[in-house]
Amino acid sequence: MSDYTAPLADMKFVATKLAGFAEIVALPGSGDLNEELLESIFEEGGKFASGVLAPLNRIGDLQGSRLSNGIVKTPDGWRKAYRQFIEGGWNAVPFDPDYGGQGLPQLVATALQDMWHAANMAFALCPMLTQAAVEALSKYGAPEQKEKYLAKLISGEWTGTMNLTEPQAGSDLARVRTKAVKEGDHYRITGQKIFITYGDHDLTDNTIHMVLARTPDAPEGVKGISLFIVPKFLVGDDGALTGRNDVRCVSLEEKMGIHASPTAVMQYGEKEGAIGYLMGEENKGLAYMFTMMNNARLSVGLEGVGICERAYQKAASFARERVQSRAIDGDNPDPVAIVRHPDVRRMLMTMRALAEAGRALAYYAAGKLDIARRHPDADARSAAQSRVDFLIPIVKGWCTENGSEAAWNGVQVHGGMGYIEETGAAQFMRDAKIAEIYEGTNGIQANDLIGRKLARDGGEEAMRLIEEVRDLDGALSRAGEDVKGLRAALSRGAASVEKATAFLLEQHRGDVRNAAAGAVPYLRLWGVVAGGWLMAKAALAATDMLESGEGDAEFLKAKIATAKFFGERILPRALAYEAEVTAGAQSLMAIADEAL
């Protein structure tokens, strides 16, 4: 039995009312996509997620992937499910039709990933990394490399990985030491990579590794990193596999969660060295890899959204069925379902609101990504890309923290049963945590936000978004008393993020430690304000639909109620985040290192 149902009504609402679907389908390359087709795609995706992936989630957690005699075995049902996944064309959704892709917008692919991660995050990690590899190869690969690898990666017949981290390097890629020595038309790669998601498995015949390495004369630091294509099995000019490359999985990490996802330690060059092919130019590998990382960071944010949704659905179902204690109001001594208790309702509504706001923010970013890629006007593409660049660390950081918060609340709603693995609530909490670490910890995302995104343009993109938040105030006035609290909180939130932005820009010109000390709360501040902005827009859209008699009235009323809750219960966090941002680093750095 599946305990996950894709929230199709909310997905369609967010895509069409908040994420710019109408503008996106009018762009070149969108083909015959319309709302009716979108609904059909979502329905089929929902069936696959709930009927195939979700029932395997618990099995995967219990069995995990295993390494035996040099072969990585995925859990029972994984291979069949993956075959169904690629036969259904799900891997190919957003990619170039010239190589077998369906050419659908990233917004559509994002909604589908929302389903995959909610249904079975450990499974969804495999196609997520493949799609990141496709992005890099599509943008930077030579024509012959695209011809050799793209079609099989897009179809999902082969999978892809990112190989960045090494034992001595961690997130400090300047310390990467894997070597690449030129030999004719290829390079010999030697070194070890760790934490490689789906670095090896039994789902496909071949895995194409994207590997960061240094050539002998490369400069030190990140300026000396190159990117190489290293297939598990070498591929001939005719596309046939010609023999095993000198690369293998030497161990799998024992993890606290996502047990079914094989996190591999990969050894390159135990013998003569693995054959690799340079992508693009030498010493530009980190820039190329960032294409993969930005794609993956949006997807990791969706992991947080998915875990929010899955944990919420499970907790809400339990709360409706679990009878315990009398209602706090009235004189009836009989016990009631715990969903009636205000504190349980607080937790459930928090989970629901975080899921809906995170979904809105991720889909909105995906919609802007489509405009950045497809719009015929260069200025429109540039403006959309600037918005995407600013939002990516917020989506990744804030949404993944929301996933952990929701999973934590889900365990709490279950009470003692939540602490028992059999109920499944604890798995979501264990699985959710990795998303805060993947593709750069959330601290790294926050530093990226204030350093590369805020300081680099002097806060111009931040101020543009703040003005859009403020511009909504007039429209909210027509929604009346129902969203009065949301409107007031959003106005305060906009003021908070403006003050925090000004403080960080000033500190970047002065004591940069004061800026760094406020980076994480600044990211969280933007998360609640941008999330609140989109929830307010959702409330307005729902109000308009109710007035015109469009759509399902109960869904729309619930959407307004959830937006109101977000405004009254979550948006006020902005004031605390502002205070934390502007506190500076003095108290943070006051204690000596050795006293900590």
Convert 276-317 into a string of H (helix), E (strand) and C (coil).
Answer: EEECCCCCCHHHHHHHHHHHHHHHHHHHHHHHHHHHHHHHHH
Task: Decide: 154 and 95 in contact? Cβ < 8 Å.
Answer: yes
Q: Give the integer Cα–Cα distance in Å for 3 and 427.
A: 13
Q: Which amino acid does the sequence have at 443?
A: G
Chain position carrying tokens 């596309």? 239
Does the annotation mark 547 as catalytic?
no
Cα distances (angstroms) measured from residue 399 to each of 37, 187, 308, 527: 28, 40, 9, 8
- Whose CA is closest to 403, among 316, 303, 315? 303
Cα distances (angstroms) measured from residue 166 to each of 46, 169, 178, 443: 38, 5, 8, 19
Cα distances (angstroms) measured from residue 123 to each of 74, 120, 155: 10, 5, 16
Cα distances (angstroms) measured from residue 43 to each of 6, 105, 114, 119, 396: 9, 17, 13, 14, 26
Q: Give the integer Cα–Cα distance in Å for 72 and 442.
A: 30
Task: Decide: 390 and 298 in contact? Cβ < 8 Å.
Answer: no
Cα distances (angstroms) measured from residue 394 to each of 179, 370, 442: 34, 18, 9
Cα distances (angstroms) measured from residue 32 to each of 21, 29, 91, 374, 432: 13, 9, 20, 15, 37
Angle value at C-alpha 177, between 165 and 199, nearest 5 degrees: 35
Catalytic residue among 135, 439, 461, 498: 439
Cα distances (angstroms) measured from residue 380 to each of 19, 231, 365, 425, 514: 16, 38, 15, 44, 35
Active-site residues, by number, are: 439
